[in-house]
Structure 1
Amino acid sequence: MSVLDEIRGRLVVSCQADPGEPLDDPAHMVALARSARCGGAAGIRAQGVRDLRALRAALPDTPLIGLVKDGASGVYITPTLGHALAVAETGVDIVALDGTTRPRPDGRTLAATVAAVRARYDVLVMADVASVADADAAVAAGVDLVGTTLSGYTGGAVPHDPDLDLVGALAARLDVPVVAEGRINTPEEAAEALRRGAHAVVVGTAITRPAVVTGRFAAALLTSRELS
């Protein structure tokens, strides 16, 4: 069974922690990933060479989507060929990278990056996009699958809800699998993404970012106290 078949119609859990967070440690990421697998996740998405190596060693048979973040704005998800090759070297099944039409920091085109990765490693390449135009260009560049990861994150205020309309539009338009990702906070939203045509659904913050989830509860209680 191929990696894409393994995750078809199922949940992929993003196990990531920002630098300095209490969970920022490979052992913690492995524990989160194992917990996700126990709960029924079909695959894991993670970032950083250190964590990816630990996850590959601990879960050798689990579909693993890998990336590297360099910075926090602009093109920062696996932004250069060097980053992509470093991710592929860890043994991931899928290399995720910025698939928007914005200029890449190393000056390479997305197509050149995809070709160079494939020339050295037997991996799939996933484009994280923000729009239909991004997705069209990414497919033309030769990527194997497209994720809605960056919708709402390329300028302006970040929306609260997931971009399920984009999921549906891409699923109806593209010949490659579409992965729903970004601000999916409830099981109902995940299920709706599948109904819209998603090949798989990635959920991160709502499952593996306890500080963020705790903050939402704490803020709601604070607001309630202030209104009472």
Structure 2
Amino acid sequence: MTATPLADTLAGRLVVSCQAPPGDAMRDTGTLVRMARAAQDGGAAAVRVNGPEVVAAVAAAVCVPVIGLWKDGDTGVYITPTVRHALALVDAGAAVVAADATARPRPDGSTFADLVAAVHTAGALVMADVSGLAEGLEAARRGADFVSTTLSGYVPGSPRQTAPDLRLVAELAAALETPVVAEGRIATPAQAAEALAAGAASVVVGTAITAPTALTRLFVAGLGGSGDAPAG
């Protein structure tokens, strides 16, 4: 498998992140499969899903490529943190493995380059989730097939912001031949189009499409409510 055909498939198109956080009513494999099928029916070029079980179920149910990740924990490097996690996703049917490519230490002592080599040997591609320009450049140098702005604003030292990091998208796109994926806080179709205009090869949208709990809380807060679930 090479990056070029899939990059061409995704060029200028939408990837939908079909995930739900722990404790959310949507965090159910069957529900996430239907979510992925709905995204495909709506025209998504690919879906991004979490965990080997969900990757396997979604890959069996959709015709579009599956970008798999495995969130293990909630601090430090927890998006596909080890080679073991990455290879489990390939075995489950992920065409692309998304992994944290920041400079932070990985829990198994491996490097991002080790993960890239293992995934490529297993026949899949790698999407590097980064928080800044230097990380994106290094990830591409280490063989990443896609570089995504997923972690911008979520890693210590990365400026927090409420809007998509279009500046980082533009900087990466200007510096790399590797396709750049815009992800993070893209809330409207207009913002998705702005990301493409800034140089993104494709755009990932999650919460704005697939997170009814989070979206409901926004509306409730806008009406002056707390967003807390009723007792009982």
Q: TM-score, normalised by structure 2?
A: 0.92
Q: 2:143 maps to which residue?
A: 142
Q: SS of the residue aligned with 1:62?
A: coil
Matched, 1:12 2:15: yes
Q: How does 1:1-228 map to 2 (within 5 A)?
A: 2-59=5-62, 61-119=63-121, 121-155=122-156, 158-222=160-224
Shift of 1:20: 1.9
Give me the whole-angstrom Cα distance separating, in 1, the residues matched to 2:22 and 2:218. 20
Shift of 1:101: 1.1
- Which one is further off, 142-151 or 103-112? 103-112
Give me the whole-angstrom Cα distance separating, in 2, the residues matched to 1:187 and 1:181. 13
Q: 1:226 maps to which residue?
A: none
- Which one is further off, 148-157 or 189-198? 148-157
The amino acid of 2:27's aligned partner reads: D
Shift of 1:33: 1.0
Shift of 1:2: 2.1
Shift of 1:117: 2.1
Is contact 2:19–2:49 with CA below 8 Å preserved after alignment? Answer: yes
Shift of 1:114: 1.1
Give me the whole-angstrom Cα distance separating, in 1, the residues matched to 2:56 and 2:22. 17
The amino acid of 2:115's aligned partner reads: T
Give me the whole-angstrom Cα distance separating, in 1, the residues matched to 2:190 and 2:34. 26
Q: Which runs of 4+ in 1 moved over 3 A?
A: none
CA RMSD of aligned residues (A): 1.3
Give me the whole-angstrom Cα distance separating, in 1, the residues matched to 2:164 and 2:76. 20
The amino acid of 2:124's aligned partner reads: V
Shift of 1:112: 1.6
Q: SS of the residue aligned with 2:77?
A: coil
Give me the whole-angstrom Cα distance separating, in 1, the residues matched to 2:160 and 2:223. 23
Q: TM-score, normalised by structure 1?
A: 0.94
Shift of 1:91: 1.2
The amino acid of 2:10's aligned partner reads: I
Give me the whole-angstrom Cα distance separating, in 2, the residues matched to 1:74 and 1:158. 17
Q: 2:228 maps to which residue?
A: none
1:116-161: per-residue Cα shift (whole Å, max 9, x none)?
A: 2222x11111100000010111111111110000000002774211
1:141-182: per-residue Cα shift (whole Å, max 9, x none)?
A: 111110000000002774211101100110010110000000
Q: Percent identity?
A: 53
Is contact 1:66–1:95 with CA below 8 Å preserved after alignment? Answer: yes
State the aligned residue count: 221
Shift of 1:78: 0.1
Is contact 1:26–1:51 with CA below 8 Å preserved after alignment? Answer: yes
Shift of 1:19: 2.0
Give me the whole-angstrom Cα distance separating, in 1, the residues matched to 2:49 and 2:22. 14
Is contact 2:182–2:195 with CA below 8 Å preserved after alignment? Answer: yes
